[in-house]
Amino acid sequence: MRVSKEIINLVPYVPGKPIEETKRELGLETVYKLASNENPLGPSPLAMEFISKALHDLHRYPDPSCYELKKEWAEFYRVHPQWVAFGNGSNELIDLLIRIYCEPGESILTSQAAFVAYSICAQAARVGVIETPLTSDYKFSVEHLLSEIKQAETKKIRLLFIANPNNPTGTYLNKQELETVLAAAHEHENLLTVVDEAYVEFVRAQDYSHALPLQERFPRLCVLRTMSKVFGLAGLRLGALVAEPKIIDYVHRVRNPFNVNSLAQAAARGALKDAVYLKRVVENNAQGLDYFYKELKRLGLQYCPSEANFVFFDTGRDAQKVYNAWLHHGVIARPVKNYGFTRHLRLSVGTKDENERSMRTLEKVLEEIPESSS
């Protein structure tokens, strides 16, 4: 059977190593997974309460319009419900936007080391990927993005993806930088911009700007949010797109009718009401990041200040060796070789205990492995 070359060349998404697999393979009793930017505090108790009630209706198909959730979600974020569509994780919405707006032979634009889902979904749709180089401090390069945007027509660039803050680097574009890029993109009628704000609730930088208020000025701006990170519902798969109704309408035509299951809808409604939990999650994250910075400094390692729930740092060594040795100490970090980084690792913020355990063991690992220049 014939298969297109884009599919043959597709490098599959590599998820974080699962806890049970690590225990089994290495014969370890306790394993800490700080590899997938998951919420270390577990799901919100209110989300679980809502799920218990929804269990009685599992024989029914879910509400395909997510009516109640949409109403409450839109209220929470002060947007119009007609501007909202949900997906099976924001990953599905990325996939749908590419399928809707790009044809084979056309391209998406993003940065090197941007969240890998953009390029995987593009390749699967036989769509090209143009990646601008990062700045020396691992940020998206406004200068390079602007120069590509200028060529949007000739290069047939249909979608621009900006993860703000970005995964795996944790870096962000500030208000002025973001607006500069959005304004340039807005000049091109056939170019849509997607700002992916998966980590927005964790941001502490004063000069950061949410993208939602910018939609008034830039109507072709799409904003992605997820329930996977601060809301702690990664296992249920729920993401949201905020975009003008014309765009939302196309998403509804293309998506599967029951793409968001009933437990996800119920849990999300509970999680949105749980302000106490959200506050705890954000506080735990800030404390965890500050602790990581202090320890990484003490260990003499360079890191990117992070606006998300993980830290991206230079091990000063072959990262694969550090990853393996760390694994033997029961800590699962995330290799970022697939993004082109051979000395870096990404580590998610865990509970206080997980954070301390990970830094104590990292110190041992670094002693075991000599520094190297590549």
Ligand X SMILES: *Cc1c(COP(=O)(O)O)cnc(C)c1O
198 lies in the site for ligand X, by CB under 6 A: yes
Q: Is 234 among the residues that bind ligand X (CB under 6 A)?
A: yes
Single-letter residue type at 196: D
Binding window for ligand X (CB under 6 A); candidates: 6-14, 150-158, 222-230, 331-339: 222-230
Of the candidate spans 58-66, 86-94, 241-249, 281-289, the one that interacts with ligand X by CB under 6 A turns out to be 86-94
Q: Choose which of 228, 306, 309, 355 interacts with ligand X (CB under 6 A).
A: 228
Give the interface size with ligand X as a residue count (CB under 6 A). 14
Residue 358, token pair as written in the block = 């990970």
For the window 121-160, what string marks contact with ligand X as x by the rule CB under 6 A?
----------------------------------------
Give min distance, CB of 224 to ligand X, in A.
7
Residue number with CB closer to ligand X (149 or 308): 308
CA of residue 327 relative to chain centroid, distance: 23
CA pair distance 159, 38, nearest whole angstrom? 28
Nearest residue to ligand X, by Cβ distance, number only: 89
- Write a three-state SS string for 85-133: EEECHHHHHHHHHHHHHCCCCCEEEEECCCCCHHHHHHHHCCCEEEEEC
Of 39 and 361, nearer to ligand X (C-beta) is 39
How far apart CA 224 and CA 239 sit, in angstroms, is: 7
For the chain, give me the number of helices (H) and strands (E)? Answer: 13, 13
Q: The tokens of 189 are what? A: 């009628």
Contact pick of 40, 239, 270, 330 for ligand X (by CB under 6 A): 239
What is the 8-class DSSP label of residue 82? G
Q: Pick one of 73, 86, 101, 115: the residue that binds ligand X (CB under 6 A).
A: 115
CB of 25 to ligand X, least distance (A): 25
Residues 6+ positions from 94 with CB-CB distance below 8 Å: 117, 118, 121, 161, 194, 196, 224
226 binds ligand X (CB under 6 A): yes
The minimum distance between CB 344 and ligand X, in angstroms, equals 16
Alpha-carbon gap, residue 251 to 172, rounded angstroms: 27
- Which residues of the shown chain bind ligand X in the complex (CB under 6 A)? 37, 89-91, 115, 163, 167, 196, 198, 226, 228-229, 234, 239
